[in-house]
Amino acid sequence: MSILELKSLSKCFGGLRAVDDFTLTLAEGSLNALVGPNGCGKSTLFNLITGLMRPDAGKIQFKGQNITGWPPHKIARLGIGRKFQVPAIFEELSLRENLIIAARKNEQRAAIDNILEQINLSNEAHMLAGELAHGQKQWLEIGLLLAQAPSLILLDEPTAGMTAAETHATAELITRINRERSMTVLVIEHDMGFIEHLACPLHVMSKGQILKSGNFKVIRNDSEVKALYFGQSEAMPDA
């Protein structure tokens, strides 16, 4: 059963087609990754899904409902959460206080504790968020999404600026969230080692469209994908 259907979406900026007749369907409870060179339209696509931009053409359907052109707050309330590249957290508050605010209700202590444990920050619950390391701030923001209990989460480069160890832990965190909470997840990333560790369907975007879809090994050895990334048919970098 599908949870998100993007049908022939297009968005232009002057003469530039940032998203061009883009079509993609996500199954409920699935984990998918979207990759592509800078400027191919990935972030614009997320802006269209979350209502920050209105498409020039096409349709966005979520849980069977047409949400095309809806304002961001209505889309968020319906169950779509997004993490941006730069963590947006309350640095002067503790981690627990951050999560309570994100929940927007009197969340049971056990539920907050569960989120802290899932994002590997139980021991830091009473620290000020501003004192966290960069990777931990990224995990806290994922926790803020979990506190809102969305059905679909969009993660825009969640490992940006992370160490190799933090990147590996983030891949494990995302796969665990997808598996244990049955949340649908769509991830934008550039780190191919991270993408391989996710072990999920991979979609390659080029010039506003899906160029190829498949598993990591198939995509990695595809001649068109190699040409897109390197301008020639050589292998993508080892993970």
C-alpha span between 106 and 196 (Å, rounded)? 38
Predicted pLDDT at 230? 60
Count of other CB atoms within 10 angstroms of residue 54: 12
Which residue, 218, 136, 146, is CA-closest to 177?
Answer: 146
Nearest 10 degrees: Cα torsion 10, 11, 17, 21: -10
Q: 61: which strand partners?
A: 5, 66
Residues of the chain short of pLDDT 70, as ranges, are 105-107, 230-239
Pairing verdict, β 80-83 and 152-156: parallel
Predicted pLDDT at 174? 96
User: If 0-12 CB within 10 Å is exposed, 13-18 middle and 19+ buried, where does residue 1 land?
Assistant: exposed
Predicted pLDDT at 234? 40
Q: Crossing angle of helices 134-147/95-103, nearest 10°?
A: 30
What SS3 class is residue 217? helix
Predicted pLDDT at 237? 45
Q: 155: which strand partners?
A: 83, 187
Predicted pLDDT at 172? 95
Predicted pLDDT at 117? 94
Which residue, 39, 34, 37, 61, is CA-closest to 212?
Answer: 34
Task: Report the first-to-last Cα separation within the chain, whole angstroms.
Answer: 32
Q: pLDDT tens for residues 91-144?
A: 999 999 999 988 876 557 788 999 999 999 999 999 999 999 999 999 999 999
Q: Crossing angle of helices 95-103/109-118, nearest 10°?
A: 120
